[in-house]
Amino acid sequence: MIKDIIAASLMSVLFLAVSTSCKSAIMEKTQVASATVTIQSERNVVPGAERITFYYPQIQDKKISLVVNQTSVVDGMHLADTLKLMGADIKRIFAPEHGFRGKADAGEHVMDQVDTSTGASVISLYGNKKGPSAKDMEDLDVMIFDIQDVGVRFYTFISTLHYVMQACADHNIPLIVLDRPNPNGHYIDGPVLEKKYESFVGMHPVPTVYGMTIGEYAKMINGELWLHEGIQCDLTVIPCKNYDHNTYYNLPIKPSPNLPNIQSVFLYPSLCLFEGTHVSVGRGTDMQFQIYGHPAWTDAPSKIKIQSLPGAKYPKHENKSIGYRSLQDLTTESLHKKDGLNLEYLVEMYQMLTKKGETFFLDNNFFEKLAGTDQLRSQLKAGKTADEIRASWDSGVDEFRVTREKYLLY
């Protein structure tokens, strides 16, 4: 199948006009792609990476770099291998959090290396630096970004995207974003990030769940002038085919080590706030982001021992038994139909643990960085209900909807 795609793509490249400027033509290119593509995949949803005829002319005979991880595949073959097979000159590969092959822990520094398949240098963007350096950008003609996102503000791939766009803008290197479906793209919810809590787990004034693909998000970074000094990146977005924001899309490859299945991806926006507390979300088990628990929850429905595992070294409450509630019985259908964060888990655990005299929040401001505000901590302490908490950010979400609308492709 992959050879058929490549052969068809190479033949089509000969007849496809190449546009070298895209700053003012992103929408035009998107409309052309949506109207004319007829090959690439028999699957219902076709990610941007598989629409090779729409970006190969821009990289043919060019020195390119890739920002990719284990999700960057074209019909089962890694994008780097696909483009190498087509004759692309891949100079460098940039790796985000979790690394090029997606095996590093959350927060673990990723080391530079060499990819034996392509011979390209692999440069970490989650080690000593978060974005490409001036030296990294030398002798490059174009950059490609192809990473599966999950549509949540504290999932750090959109922060990597920001730094990549900044480097491309600073050095006049065109950037091509190969769009992929957002599994959480069907709703918007959560507090909008306050500027004082900007960090790598939240760089932009958007809600927790923002309902955009990574290609749309790139357009928003450009359009809202969020890069340094308001400069813009020379950006092309290759959109998905047969996709809209209500499309159910079961990710073919897990996007990171601790999101092992689609249920965990759907639950992640609601459960990840626990990462700023003493509550476990199942790291160190085989139920990551499908349970929540604590050692003091002695009357919990179930118990399990937390252990250090590949992709989850030194997990919270390591070598301790925790009481936990499992959410694995929730069907993918019911989870996909949800239209907001489930704050009941957070309210339940805060009230239960504080009554037991346990410390709930970690002794830093990581909870605020994840929430994007200090109001959520205050609301929990004040005994607010989930509905009362959600009502406090409705106006911010409504304002964001207006901003978001300008950049939608689907």
The CATH code belonging to domain 2-251 is 3.40.50.12170
Angle between helices 157-170 and 214-223 (to 10 degrees): 50
Q: What is the DSSP letter of 124?
A: E
The predicted structure's pLDDT at residue 34? 33
Q: Phi first, then psi: what are they for 350, rounded to 5°?
A: -60, -50
Nearest to 238 by CA among 410, 93, 51: 51
Could you read off the pLDDT of 371-396 as tens digits, one per residue?
999 999 999 999 999 999 999 999 99
pLDDT at 20 over 60: no
The predicted structure's pLDDT at residue 123? 95
The domain segmentation of the chain, as residue ranges, is 2-251, 262-373
Lowest-pLDDT choice from 42-46, 275-279, 290-294, 374-378: 42-46
The predicted structure's pLDDT at residue 24? 33
Q: What is the mean pLDDT of residues 342-360?
A: 98
What is the chain's mean pLDDT, rounded? 90
Could you read off the pLDDT of 93-137 as tens digits, one per residue?
999 987 786 554 554 555 678 888 899 999 999 988 999 999 999
Could you read off the pLDDT of 58-84 as tens digits, one per residue?
999 999 999 999 999 999 999 999 999
Contacts of 405 (CB under 8 A, 6+ apart): none
Q: Which segments within 258-372 are labelled E, that is strand?
A: 291-294, 302-305, 321-326
- At 335, which helix (H) or strand (E)? helix 332-337
